[in-house]
A and B are shown apart, each in its own frame.
Chain A
């Protein structure tokens, strides 16, 4: 009966596929050679700095080899981390953005590594930097890079138009006015409804505390006074056509930057690298200054972005993983690579080293860039805390802000809407939230 052959053929196809799968499957986070051979760690990270750092580590540590994968940017890789942890497939080590870290803790992804942080390692970062990865007195990650907020602007064009660099937000408004009057096709900056991190940073600079916890009780302050002050400020600028509402880093935005129609980007210290990526020909025309302040004479800024390296709860080699995380983030070699690829190191060693490095490619003329960066980094607000559902807040914020802009309703109301969604979500999950 030839159908037996058919059955056999069909079965072979299926088995063959499975065998291919078997030999290539990796179902656990780390791979253990039973005979005490080298330990292999899986490391998820994005960005151009990662490959060189991993290569440097692998060369120096033949007994602990690290395999690097780019699992997508911050939002994507954190989503994958959660799913992978549930499935038992998580890597040993991963880069996690500071704002997502609480969600990783609640999702049982990030492991408590307080035991692996000895005093020596502790001394390599400032207390406020450790504050980014410490919760309930437990350390959950080693800071890798930080993004103290700063003001990056088109120096050439502002000089041409005779507009002084603003040091306060009030001056920023005046400057925006001057720019737009002098050149109706240009705007000082754009307001981006998706930039949750930026808005949060500005609110924090104004004194807002979006999440705070007292014992077991959470308080959510997304629409507190300080935040609403920020919303009103931007509302004012938008209503008077001093600022363009547009999404960042789209082909159009990039083109406008190149054409001198967007003249600044209030963001953080990593901004020069990003601008350079889309406006290479403008090297030498841009510069960096401290972010404008609410009160004249103040100098405090928040962080925007930046990430830490966490050891996952799925890792079978937490000690080695912690060692790796510590090495790339706090040694001279690691810091050197970070700087060369545009990351601003979180370690004090790295920041000091930065001071003697070349300025970023976008602003070779600003020789005091790194000194200024150190000063800015030293003025960051201590104890910024994120909550357990930042992802929810981010998506609600983005939608509410977009809607406000589309409908012409006040940005304030968008904040209130976001607050409601965040509080409701925390309550549904079971957190204790005060009204």
Chain B
């Protein structure tokens, strides 16, 4: 069903009221961008410029830094980047599949244990990652998977917030009538889910994908604990090893900064790309229109 375009505009606002909102939001935008801008500027500084020049003055070492970055350890950064992509990409996709299935199931069916399942999974947000990290590691070790790609992927697939979002989307975006009609036509539940439910839940699924991708990409603690083979490290852990050498070894600041700058770029690009899918009708659960 179509929505009338939401017209939140008015035409008779005085100039100050017109300029003020823009000014305020631009200040907000600037506040958020300043540190990021610093990373980009700092990545252009050569090693000797990093601690000798003014914080926001651009430097001359960008090309050298890039070269050092990709040459470090014989190309480790490239490996880390691919690992991050693997964990975040595959992890987010799997997470979306699991969340969509669970959300759909919870929203569209009543069954014994439905509330128990839902609230238990939600309660999962209450437990901080640090508490779970070592037990997860010990569990993985018992199963023999510690240090493998799966040991980092599997724990990050179940996302309580993702399941909550999918449940809300499924409730709001997939009308019962359509499901009933499909059933009367003889379609099986699975078919209904894939052919009707999923397309309707798509904006929500994209949202969950994006949130999970960013969350997994930026996750540090789980891979740090699980992995002891540096060819499997994601970027977060790799950057950490560049910096945390203690006072006995020089910290590789320049390499770390350029590594950080380079790693932010794909994330931002992904966000920009996926932004257009954030339309209306998203998180409206609980709203009575």
Residue of A nearest to B76 (CB): A70
- Which residues between 1 and 58 of chain A lie within 8 Å of chain B, taking CB atoms? 1-6, 10, 13, 17-18, 20-27, 42, 44, 46-48, 51
Q: How far does the alpha carbon of A44 sit from the alpha carbon of B230 in the complex, in Å?
A: 10
Given contacts A6-B189, A69-B228, A86-B138, whether A25 and B246 have CB atoms under 8 Å apart is no
Give the complex CA separation of A267 and B228 in angstroms.
31
Give the size category of B's interface with A. Answer: 35 or more
**C-alpha gap A48/B248 in the complex (Å):** 12
Question: Are B228 and A44 in contact, CB atoms less than 8 angstroms apart?
Answer: yes
Contact of A274 among B144, B190, B250 (CB under 8 A): B250
Instruction: Classify the secondary structure of B's interface with A.
Output: helix
Alpha-carbon separation in the docked complex, A138 to B96 (Å)? 55
CB under 8 Å from chain A, chain B span 40-74: 47-48, 50-52, 73-74
User: Which of A127-135, A156-164, A247-255 binds B?
Assistant: A247-255
B50 to chain A, nearest CB (A): 8
Indicate if B225 sits at the interface (CB-CB under 8 A): yes
Within 8 A of A (CB), among B230-279: 230, 232, 240-241, 244-253
Do A274 and B248 touch across chains, with their CB atoms under 8 A apart? Answer: yes
| Given known contacts A25-B150, A278-B51, A280-B47, A72 and B244 CB-to-CB distance under 8 angstroms | yes
Cβ of B185 within 8 Å of any chain A Cβ, yes or no, is no
Task: Please tell me the number of chain A residues within 8 Å of chain B, measured between CB atoms.
Answer: 66
- The answer, among B48, B151, B194, B248, for a CB contact under 8 Å with A25, is B151
A75 within 8 A of B: yes
Q: Are A73 and B244 in contact (CB under 8 A)?
A: yes
User: In the assembled complex, which residues on chain A have CB atoms less than 8 Å from the CB atom of B97?
Assistant: 13
Across-interface contacts of B50 in A (CB, < 8 A): 254, 278
Q: A13-B94, A24-B149, A25-B150 are in contact. Are A249 and B189 (CB under 8 A)?
A: no
CB-defined contacts of B248 to chain A, threshold 8 Å: 74, 147, 268, 270, 274, 305-306
The segment from A76-84, A202-210, A318-326, A412-420 found at the interface with B is: A76-84
Q: Answer yes or no: A382 CB below 8 A from chain B CBs.
A: no
The answer to whether A46 touches B229 (Cβ under 8 A) is no
Residues of A in contact with B (beta carbons under 8 Å apart): 1-6, 10, 13, 17-18, 20-27, 42, 44, 46-48, 51, 67, 69-76, 80, 83-84, 86-89, 91, 147, 195, 197, 248-249, 251, 254-255, 257-259, 267-268, 270, 273-274, 276-281, 305-306, 342
B interface with A by C-beta (< 8 Å): 47-48, 50-52, 73-74, 94, 97, 101, 134, 137-138, 141-142, 144-151, 153-154, 187-191, 193-194, 224-225, 228-230, 232, 240-241, 244-253
Known: A2-B188, A24-B149. 19 other contacts (CB 8 A): A1-B188, A4-B190, A6-B189, A21-B151, A47-B249, A69-B230, A70-B241, A83-B134, A83-B137, A87-B137, A87-B141, A274-B250, A277-B251, A278-B250, A278-B251, A278-B253, A279-B48, A279-B51, A306-B248
